[in-house]
Structure 1
Amino acid sequence: MNHQFLKTLLATTVVAMSTSAFAGQAPGAAAAPDIPISHHDRVFAAEQFSNTVSVTDPVDNKLLGVIRLGDPQPGNFSPLYKGQVLVHGMGYSPDHHTLAIVSIGSNSVTFIDTTTNAVKHVTYVGRSPHEAFYTPDGKEVWVTVRGENYISVIDAQSFKEMMRIEVPAGPGMQIFSPDGKYGYICSSFNPETDVVSVADHQIVAKVKQESPFCPNIAATPDGEQVWFTLKDIGKTQIFNAKPPFNPIKTIDTGPITNHVNFAKTLKGTFAYVTIGGTNQVKVYRTDDFSEVATIPVGNLPHGIWPSGDGTRVYVGLENADALAAIDTATNKVIANIPIGQAPQAIAYVPEAAPNPNDRQNLQSLGVAGQVAHLTLAPKKEAKGEKPPTSVSLFEQGLIQVLQASVTGLEPKQHYVLALAGKADGTGAVEPLAAFMTNPVGSAIVNATGPIRQLVQNSAKAERRYLVIAPGEPSKPGAAVQVQTP
């Protein structure tokens, strides 16, 4: 046999083996080619309290700037305010050149050109939308209108609403099968995930959720499985992506289970799940569902997305205002990038920037880079035990937004986040927020005001300390968690 032919055959075989073993990243199909990391790629994060979209270069793991969609509090309280509020959800077009950014507080989807970082259009939808994503053919954008009971279907060219798909109240997120045949819509208010035929927008199946609070859903690149998270009970469910759409597995993942996504690697396809209550990402095989790694990443991991070649996974750290980059070969964090306030959805978009040196329409972090971080721990904390509650004070200029990722409390009980006069939680108590824990003893708690000035005042006589106490604001009990030094 001709030696040159043998060499050509061998080279072709090696390439084919490499491609088939290491190709196709979510949300695309397994057959799609991998796209090596380059300066043309971008990692985008939707940041809820700075109302920004951060733009990061994954080669250098460097923040390039932010796209500012709105103003901080209290400016955005004005009835004449026109910007976006609570920038939260994110999807992108199949050609990788348009972002669809959902702002919960202003009921909008902002379409951004990734080549120029410029806003192309803003479409307003119903009350409190949560996530948006393009159909795989790029013709439609489906938006979960979580404050109501429908999916808003937007024409991707005109940016106008075409129709609505009625579903149970509170649709949380939708994602599509890689072949574009089905849309999978989980619910944040009802224990039901709906499967919709994309061709005719009809519900063809219903999958029971083990709880009513699903914030995130993803489909494997091979089109065989759908995974969705249940934030309130700390579980992740898996069902068959094809008829009969039967349940496959439920995994106890941990308190404040947030988002899930996949990386296809030489070792197989793995699910990466962000666990906000333990500040970890857990990694599972998709064939036998075994847990293969637990990765400490930082405070309150939320959104997650793989690079175009599956060699990295990026995680938004909601209470650390940062992106964590994970090397999927070692499952270790290799970079931590400061970004805007309280990142929610994350999207790694390969080849988003034809000109990698273009910085037009990007701004510096400004006040969004000013955040104070605190921790609360049980009053009788065991030696060496990690504090369970992280707190961020997001600077807004005149005031701050406080967010606490609370864990380690009794399930389904009433508590108060408060300021106490003494470090041990005693003295005069000033309630900031009342909340009830979920079935695993966790909660995300928010408050707004000049809190930093009170908590960090250098004058001992005026200083206050964050605490958590059981009961109601009118009659809180003794503090069970106190601010650590």
Structure 2
Amino acid sequence: MKHRIFFLNALAAALVLKLSGAAFAGQAPGAVTAPDVPVSHRDRVYAAEQFSNTVSVTDPADNRLLGVIRLGDPSPGNFSPLYRGQVLVHGMGFSPDHKTLAVVSIGSNSVTFIDTATNAVKHVTYVGRSPHEAFFTPDGKEVWVTVRGENYVSVLDSTTFAEKTRITTPAGPGMQIFSPDGKYGYVCSSFNPETDIVSVADHQIVGKVKQDSPFCPNIAATPDGKQVWFTLKDVGRTQIFEAQPPFRLLETLDTGPITNHVNIVKNANGMFAYVTVGGLNEVKVFRTDSYAQVATIPVGNLPHGIWPSGDGSRVYVGLENGDALAAIDTLTNKVVAQIPIGQAPQAVAYVPDAVPDGDGTQNLQPLGVAGNTAHIQMTSTGGGTNTSGNAPTSVALFDQGLLQVLQASVTGLKPKQPYVLGLSDNPDGSGVVEGLANFMTNPAGSAIVNAIGQIRQVVSVNDPQAKGARRYLVIAPQVDGKLGAVVQVQVL
């Protein structure tokens, strides 16, 4: 009788696991055979924040920001020739044992290695011009850093953190990820229309995949070792190819303007690719077997980095123009939480069991000025919206003290045309327009535009620091070197 009771109890427990989705093991970047890790207070969600130069640390069990790891100072303090901190904190990866976070800072050409249990900086390695992303090989022995401002992947020893060799690629390697078995590294390009497949054992290029455009910012491999997905930010597409020789291109999806990052989720419903589409303020969800789109999830302004929990029950999305993390339940594809974090989050990493013991709050600091941001929408002069029904352009003004970094996520313009983001005397764009930033749209008619100055004080309503007459953000085309008629204006 005891044996029968034990069998029935075990069967009931297995059924509960199956119904909850917890029995469907294997989340990227691990193998499909790896066990799921249920969400707990031992897990951490990290986001690399480009304008506050911080790494935010969130407890996913209650979706609570614990604090930030401050790697550098805001502007203009980081302009000093004697400045020693990091600039443009951007990329992120973690070790297979979940004990080390690797954080790339584009402006200071560095990889900062952080102890996940204590949030302490263990080492800083400086590499070539404008690195973009860093990730550990599945055996944990190497860290590959794509040096996007040059033409190579810097291969670091994961014990000494020193560079041991370089893998030459076409100029502008954007990101690398590895096959779950550790045999291949997949390196897409941000400057050339080519993804290279590299043998991890000998660092030799063994295959190439043609990209539809030169600008790939992000790449992900499915945990079953069968597919690789990469995004094309300039043309708004996502492409999929076979993860094994002959690395055949499988599918091309039109995902939308400012297609940012992609990641893979496995749950009770199957395996899915989640793609952040910054120009639509959405995450789109596709099956990996049929490539059919199964969900569109509104998440907030300019979604960028994305990473699943250790059991695939959630994905976390960094909102670049929203200063927040959006938590998505993957079985319902609904946003279940939004957590305020630092300025302009880029890469996101979910690290299961990052803190085996204790509360893991050592060396964390409060957000401070990094939590201060003003948000503005811009619409076409005819009042139009994008395909999601939103105003086509979102603007964030990230406080740096008295100054702000302006970032506009611009959509709805003509492709490959010069424009000016400026300040107008009048809300309809009439009168004098003073230029803030010149920019060129990409093939999807979109762009990310930046400027710096005391901008909030003149464009925001009821700003306590406002001085003088109010002005208004506008976008106008450049025609023969002169400003044409205004095509987008600030929403009042």
TM-score band, normalised by the shorter chain?
over 0.9
Q: Answer yes or no: is the 8 Å Cα contact 1:187–1:213 preserved in 2.
A: yes
Deviations 1:298-350 (A, max 9, x none): 00000000000000000000000000000001000000000000000000000
Partner residue, 1:33: 35
Distance 2:460 2:277 in 1: 29
Deviations 1:434-474 (A, max 9, x none): 00101110000000111112223757961110000000696
Q: Answer yes or no: is the 8 Å Cα contact 1:416–1:472 preserved in 2.
A: no
Partner residue, 1:268: 270
Partner amino acid for 2:421? Answer: L
Deviations 1:211-269 (A, max 9, x none): 00000000001010000000000000000000110000000001000000011001100
Partner amino acid for 1:366? Answer: G
The TM-score, its normalising length taken from structure 2, stands at 0.95
Partner residue, 1:404: 408
Distance 1:469 1:282 in 2: 31
Which of 282, 291, 298 lines up with 2:284 in the alignment?
282
User: 1:105 and 1:366, CA in 2 relative to 1: closer, same or farther beyond 3 A?
Assistant: same
| Aligned pairs for 1:390-429 within 5 A | 390-429=394-433
- Cα offset for 1:14? 5.2
Which of 460, 464, 475 lines up with 1:468 in the alignment?
475
Distance 1:455 1:113 in 2: 42
Deviations 1:132-187 (A, max 9, x none): 00000000000000000000000000000000000000000000000000000000
Q: Answer yes or no: is the 8 Å Cα contact 2:413–2:446 preserved in 1.
A: yes
Q: Answer yes or no: is the 8 Å Cα contact 1:39–1:356 preserved in 2.
A: no
Distance 1:121 1:383 in 2: 47
Off by >6 Å, runs of 4+ in structure 1: 15-20
Which ranges of structure 2 fall in alignment gaps of 5 or more residues? none
Partner residue, 2:369: 367
Matched, 1:483 2:490: yes
Deviations 1:107-154 (A, max 9, x none): 000000001000000000000000000000000000000000000000
Partner amino acid for 1:446? Answer: N
Distance 2:424 2:481 in 1: 14
Partner amino acid for 2:484? Answer: G
The worse-fitting range, judged by mean Cα deviation, of 385-394 and 144-153 is 385-394
Partner residue, 1:388: 392
Matched, 1:62 2:69: no
- Cα offset for 1:359? 1.3
The worse-fitting range, judged by mean Cα deviation, of 448-457 and 152-161 is 448-457
- Cα offset for 1:21? 5.3
- Tell me the secondary structure at the aligned position of residue 369 of structure 2: helix
Partner residue, 1:135: 137
- Tell me the secondary structure at the aligned position of residue 454 of structure 1: helix
Partner residue, 1:176: 178
Matched, 1:448 2:448: no
Partner residue, 2:441: 437
User: 1:15 and 1:431, CA in 2 relative to 1: closer, same or farther beyond 3 A?
Assistant: same
- Cα offset for 1:190? 0.2
- Tell me the secondary structure at the aligned position of residue 438 of structure 1: coil
- The sequence identity of aligned pairs, in percent, is 73
RMSD value over aligned CA atoms? 2.0
Deviations 1:46-95 (A, max 9, x none): 00000000000001101000000000101101111000000000000001
Aligned length: 485
Distance 1:253 1:427 in 2: 38
Partner amino acid for 1:407? Answer: T
| Aligned pairs for 1:9-24 within 5 A | 10=11, 22-24=24-26
Distance 1:377 1:78 in 2: 37
User: 1:182 and 1:378, CA in 2 relative to 1: closer, same or farther beyond 3 A?
Assistant: same
Partner amino acid for 1:163? Answer: T
User: 1:152 and 1:381, CA in 2 relative to 1: closer, same or farther beyond 3 A?
Assistant: same
